[in-house]
A and B are shown apart, each in its own frame.
Chain A
Amino acid sequence: MSMIRVENLSFGYRQPAELFRDFSWTVQPGERWAVIGPSGCGKTTLLYLLAGLRRPSGGTITVAGQPLRGPRLQTGLILQDYGLLPWARAWENVALGLAIRGVPRPERRRRALAWLERLGLQAVADRYPAQLSGGQRQRVAIARTLILEPDLLLLDEPFAALDALTREDLQDLLGALCAQTTMVLVTHDIAEAVFLAQRLLVLGRPPIRQGQVIENPAAGQPGYRRTVEFALRCAQVRQALERAQDRVVAEVGG
């Protein structure tokens, strides 16, 4: 059984098939995918569709064998920013999903603190998001999602707002924590996609009928970033991206 099966998906905000038109795609359990494409190509929308936050105007999305009808409890979603409640302390943010599921407060706190400790945040457990650095905030967001033990992890540009070193640090962390979890990462950062994802889906300009798939079996290995293979793969992805956009430029021009 595939983890995600997208069949003949059509979607658009203003017109029915403005972004996706008869788009099909399959993700197997345990696979780590990156969806990469120019901004405005609909990659974030694709993630919202997979999260059940948007309804397709045509076609079907099946997650873990079930047709998707709304947000699914076992799917974790991490956004670039704005995901944390500004009025809740770090541990309360981590425990939010547990609160929504009715877990009693003492147990919520205990479990949230355990996760914060795992991510090196125990010292800031009682701080508000505004008192945390960008990297710490994104760690809190990761903890909030992983505490629910998702079988599918959806990430939208999770590290775009961070400096290079913090970003690599968090990429390592995510790679280590979610080695077994099915993951779909939306990003416009080629290096991030190549470091984290075993398979890349390259999207062009909308309306999207199909994407180009690039295999990247070495992803996730420690030290991959500093190999020649990594650099070559990045170049290959860059080329594919440029082609995907060129084709459209030609289409628009013609």
Chain B
Amino acid sequence: MRRFLLAGLMLLAIWQGLSWLVRSPVLPDPPTVGRVFVQALGGRLGEHMLVSAYRVVGAMVLAGLVGSLLGLVIGHHPRWNALAAPAIYLTYPIPKIVFLPLVMLFLGVGDAAKIFLIALILFFQVLVVVRDAAASVRFELVLSVRSLGATRWQLLRYIYLPACLPAVLTGLRVSTGTAIAVLFLTESFATQAGLGYYILVETWGRMAYPEMYAGVLAMSLLGMGLYLVLDRLERRLCGWLTAGGGP
């Protein structure tokens, strides 16, 4: 904890130093931005942040659920895995962001299109790691639990689900940065809510620089918050991975 605090203070110091050096309204100092951030958070900025959080969290939940479900189904069965592998191999490297115009044509300019696009990108990350985690479950483990009388559903519940949970959470956690970046892009036009809109249109467009920095700060905090929550969840739900004190 103290190390994180120290790192934070160091970043603030660098920012402060740069703003002293540059001496331009384009780079206001941390105290100014901090003040504006606190003020704005109670007003419009808070609303924009909530909208953005809704979109990105919704997309993560959607991608997490669909991606892990499909990954589990494909990964736990060698034949299905062999069948699906070429399709995943071909579609995985496609930059899904280029589907943005298409998605908007089909789903309109509302939240649905934004959530869908972020979810689509996260979905592949989750799908691949969950499939691999499910495929690497030891066959002996499956046999021994089957010998206890487990049905196929119980094998999923007692073996594949817990075996894949760390992969789902890690997959989502390392994709947080990507998710926020795509969020920013989808909010940069054809909308009047969200942090992307706030930063690009409401503040940058009006040269309200301290407010713009407050927006950047809000977006960073959103990403950091999600990262922390996922990290905590992983430690909480997958305690067996980090449980120390060997035999």
**A interface with B by C-beta (< 8 Å):** 48, 51-53, 71, 73, 75-77, 79, 81-83, 85-88, 96-97, 99-101, 127-128, 130-133, 136, 144, 148
- Is B93 interfacial (CB-CB < 8 Å)? no
Nearest-neighbour CB distance to chain B for A199, whole angstroms, equals 23
Do residues A136 and B247 form an inter-chain contact, with CB atoms below 8 A? Answer: yes
Do residues A87 and B238 form an inter-chain contact, with CB atoms below 8 A? Answer: yes
Residue of B nearest to A156 (CB): B140
The one of B140, B154, B244 that contacts A79, using a Cβ cutoff of 8 Å = B140
Nearest-neighbour CB distance to chain A for B87, whole angstroms, equals 29
A52 vs B246: C-alpha distance when bound (angstroms):
35
- Is B17 interfacial (CB-CB < 8 Å)? no
Give chain A residues whose Cβ lies under 8 Å from the Cβ of B150: 100
Grouping DSSP codes into helix (H, G, I), strand (E, B) and loop, the B interface class, with mixed when no group exceeds half, is: helix
A234 vs B245: C-alpha distance when bound (angstroms):
40
- Is B149 interfacial (CB-CB < 8 Å)? yes
- Is B25 interfacial (CB-CB < 8 Å)? no
A60 vs B162: C-alpha distance when bound (angstroms):
37
Q: Tally A-B pairs: CB < 8 A.
A: 71
14 contacts between A and B (CB under 8 A): A71-B146, A75-B147, A77-B147, A82-B140, A83-B141, A85-B145, A85-B158, A86-B240, A87-B165, A88-B162, A100-B150, A127-B243, A131-B246, A131-B247
The one of A75, A87, A97, A136 that contacts B162, using a Cβ cutoff of 8 Å = A87
- Is B208 interfacial (CB-CB < 8 Å)? no
Nearest-neighbour CB distance to chain A for B194, whole angstroms, equals 38
Do residues B247 and A48 form an inter-chain contact, with CB atoms below 8 A? Answer: no
Do residues B243 and A77 form an inter-chain contact, with CB atoms below 8 A? Answer: no
The one of B143, B162, B246, B247 that contacts A85, using a Cβ cutoff of 8 Å = B162
Do residues A53 and B146 form an inter-chain contact, with CB atoms below 8 A? Answer: yes
Give chain A residues whose Cβ lies under 8 Å from the Cβ of B239: 128
Known contacts A99-B158, A130-B246; decide if A53 and B141 are in contact (CB<8 Å): no
The one of A82, A132, A148 that contacts B148, using a Cβ cutoff of 8 Å = A148
Do residues B148 and A100 form an inter-chain contact, with CB atoms below 8 A? Answer: yes
A128 vs B146: C-alpha distance when bound (angstroms):
21
Give chain A residues whose Cβ lies under 8 Å from the Cβ of B149: 71, 73, 97, 100-101
Chain A CB within 10 Å — which of B143, B158, B165, B239 has the most? B143
Give chain A residues whose Cβ lies under 8 Å from the Cβ of B140: 79, 81-83
Do residues A87 and B146 form an inter-chain contact, with CB atoms below 8 A? Answer: no
- Is B3 interfacial (CB-CB < 8 Å)? no
- Is B163 interfacial (CB-CB < 8 Å)? yes
Over the window 214-247 of chain B, the binary record of Cβ atoms lying under 8 Å from chain A Cβ atoms (1 yes, 0 no) is 0000000000000000000000001110011111
Known contacts A79-B140, A87-B163; decide if A96 and B158 are in contact (CB<8 Å): yes
Residue of B nearest to A74 (CB): B149
- Is B159 interfacial (CB-CB < 8 Å)? yes
7 closest pairs, A vs B, by CB? A77-B147, A133-B247, A82-B140, A83-B144, A97-B148, A87-B162, A128-B240
Nearest-neighbour CB distance to chain A for B158, whole angstroms, equals 7
Do residues B247 and A71 form an inter-chain contact, with CB atoms below 8 A? Answer: no
Give chain B residues whose Cβ lies under 8 Å from the Cβ of A76: 147
Over the window 168-179 of chain B, the binary record of Cβ atoms lying under 8 Å from chain A Cβ atoms (1 yes, 0 no) is 000000000000
